[in-house]
Amino acid sequence: MQKRKLGNSDLEVSALGLGCMGMSFSYGAPQDDNEMIALMHKAVDLGINFFDTAEVYGPWINEELVGKALSPIRDKVVIATKFGFNCVPNGAPGTQTLNSKPEHIKQVAEASLKRLNIDAIDLFYQHRVDPDVPIEEVAGAVKDLIAAGKVRHFGMSEAGAQTIRRAHAVQPVAALQSEYSLWWRKPELEIIPLLEELGIGLVAYSPLGKGFLTGAMSTDTTFASTDFRSKLPRFTPEAMAANQAFVDLLATIAKQKNATTAQIALAWLLAQKPWIVPIPGTTKLHRLEENVGAASVDLTADDLKQIETAAASIKPEGDRYPEAIEKMTGL
């Protein structure tokens, strides 16, 4: 698989990464460790070298899983994790409180290094901006960790434009992780132009709309109470019915390209900027192989124009998160 550089940094990663959250958290019961370890090893075999986790996923158990899988092949992989919460045991998404105090960041780094069983974190993101801690102090704490050799690159997640700019002035930000897909394009307004100006990469999470853009869901799809999507406004039957237009658009292009809807959704993201890296998550081997195939799908200028024209007439239905979680973002 081709590699991409995240902005002006020297951090080079596979064009597609693997989001590991769903292996342990948010999408029902944790998966079998051995099966997930095998899946991560298969991802490496397929050319993926970029893996995404966070202390809050579980909490803690996803980092431990990633550490078991990847520390034995450390020289082949780039591992990203995140700080920024007071983790609550068995805490569901949205139940943890923010904490980006410098002393807490350093404690999290030490704990994450142990769980991941590595000597340095390749990319350490602030998971969500903490309004109670000046971003300059946050960037300074990560700068100290970089100087100590415990972290290699600083990242941010779902941060607003001015916050990114202020942080970047203290410690260069290698990458911003934010949701970005054909049905969530708000980053195009301010964030992507800023990232281009400052030379910061974009790591796109939920590039398949939490599974919706694969075409595998319908208005009859139901979610277990342990599945985070059961609480998201965008996954009500009414919203999914309205948003089916996005899937239909992708399916039309997929048919022309002899590809799948998921592959077109990912190829569209890859075609936006050479420094955008989607990190679709999966627990299934066939989905992993399908996603990897997206890196070989070539969308022409005419294809992109066709998608753009059609998408312009579709309005996404439903908020992406409940208000309590959405207000943690800077967008």
In terms of Cβ atoms closer than 10 Å to its own Cβ (0-12, 13-18, 19+), residue 200 is buried
What tokens appear for 16 in the block? Answer: 């597609």
Q: Widest CA span of the chain, in angstroms?
A: 54
Residues designated catalytic: 57
Half-sphere exposure at residue 30, Cβ-oriented, CA atoms within 13 angstroms: 17
